[in-house]
Structure 1
């Protein structure tokens, strides 16, 4: 019996699809180029050229017994604030005389907070609580010349600051340093790819993809200190050391046949 044309066409189409299936992986492989993937990380050691010095001044009111209806003595608060402002003004003059520009001196906002202290024991055996108020002013100094640091530390301690919170070392040109770290990582990736290609006897073609695996990380370097550093080490040297900047990249090259 002859096969009708409507039944023959679907059968032929199915045979053509089945015959073409083994060719699909080869066709996809031909469209997907061979590639060499390389990852590289780089570190850049940079000597800081800027520093921020933090210090604090504070004054306290006399301690008084705590009661439910007690309030801060306005006169004592005013006197403590006047003493604090006078010390801050004297400190700024001392720093200017030491060679620091006024624009590099930042006096922070006044901070007022209560302090609770143990008092004397009463006849009943209970211990009363004493309360006083602490008024504080932070001082931040921006140094673009690190040679000034020892002299300014001496000026601060001689001026009687109540706390030296440390030095933060930094870079004036952060963008330039992070760019240099990224370029270093890219050069390392290219050097690795060329070495691998030479060793494996393959030829590199065009770059397919480039991405950052680690954005350049910049962290200022901290140096802690105490207010009595001058007494313990009057001839101390302050060395900034180096700041480490890390960067990472991933680069893919086409392998030419």
Structure 2
């Protein structure tokens, strides 16, 4: 008799547990989600620029089979280059550029080969000379001063104007703004979809970047006309586009 009663108690316990297991299984079921991807573009106007220029000097050309380097000619070329570099820096300072905004690059030395004057139809000798090159960069925080500074570089006799690189004083603020625009666009899309489909958005389940916002300085090459007549040229920085992308998931509440 006691054995039969025990079986009934055990069966009743199992029947009671079944609804609890079913409720737990329902709680573990993944909730419906709404996944949205969005991209945004931010156009920014640069507020800083860097002028790139170079000075160089050359030694006299000599026969390339001559292994002896003319140390005196090399020293004279270097002295001329350093004298011109000093004059260039002084001219920029007189134009209002702070010394910390002028960057003088390292001296580079490289051989150059030029054809020798022809002495006969079969004469193809080459001459060799040495070129000493020094780059300069000038940071400009006021873009309205660009024409004046270009005049100063031209007057100082730079050998090459390698262009203008436009930049932002605060890059992080621009990239942050692009990311915020992408997130706002994702929320707008999610709310539009939810409203149209007659559902409500719940908590945010997941957020990830699909495109990290990157700011790249914009380089503007200088034309021959601009190099020869800096006073008459116009330098418009234009705009730089920063792109950002995100993927956001919301839980759906019915």
TM-score tier (shorter): 0.7 to 0.9
TM-score, normalization by structure 2: 0.86
Q: Which runs of 5+ in 1 are unaligned?
A: 1-19
Deviation at 1:128, TM superposition (A): 1.2
Equivalences for 1:92-107 in 2 at 5 Å? 92-107=89-104
Deviation at 1:28, TM superposition (A): 7.1
Counterpart check, 1:52 vs 2:50:
yes
Equivalent position of 2:8 in the other structure: none
| Aligned match for 2:116, one of 116, 119, 129 | 119
Contact 1:95 1:155 (C-alpha < 8 Å) held by counterparts: yes
Contact 2:147 2:230 (C-alpha < 8 Å) held by counterparts: no
C-alpha distance 233-93 of structure 1, shift in aligned 2 (>3 A): closer
Matches of 1:58 and 1:226 in 2, distance apart? 20
Count, aligned residues:
234
Equivalent position of 2:179 in the other structure: 182
Contact 1:56 1:161 (C-alpha < 8 Å) held by counterparts: yes
Contact 1:114 1:131 (C-alpha < 8 Å) held by counterparts: yes
CA deviations 1:212-247 (Å, max 9, x no partner) are 000002111111014652435641111111111110
Deviation at 1:122, TM superposition (A): 4.6
Matches of 1:228 and 1:75 in 2, distance apart? 37
Equivalent position of 2:3 in the other structure: none
Contact 1:95 1:152 (C-alpha < 8 Å) held by counterparts: yes
Superposition CA RMSD, Å: 2.1
Q: Which runs of 5+ in 2 are unaligned?
A: 1-17
Deviation at 1:157, TM superposition (A): 1.0
3-state SS in 2 of match to 1:238? coil
Deviation at 1:121, TM superposition (A): 3.4
| Aligned match for 2:211, one of 209, 214, 225 | 214
Deviation at 1:185, TM superposition (A): 0.4
Counterpart check, 1:155 vs 2:152:
yes
Matches of 1:124 and 1:155 in 2, distance apart? 47
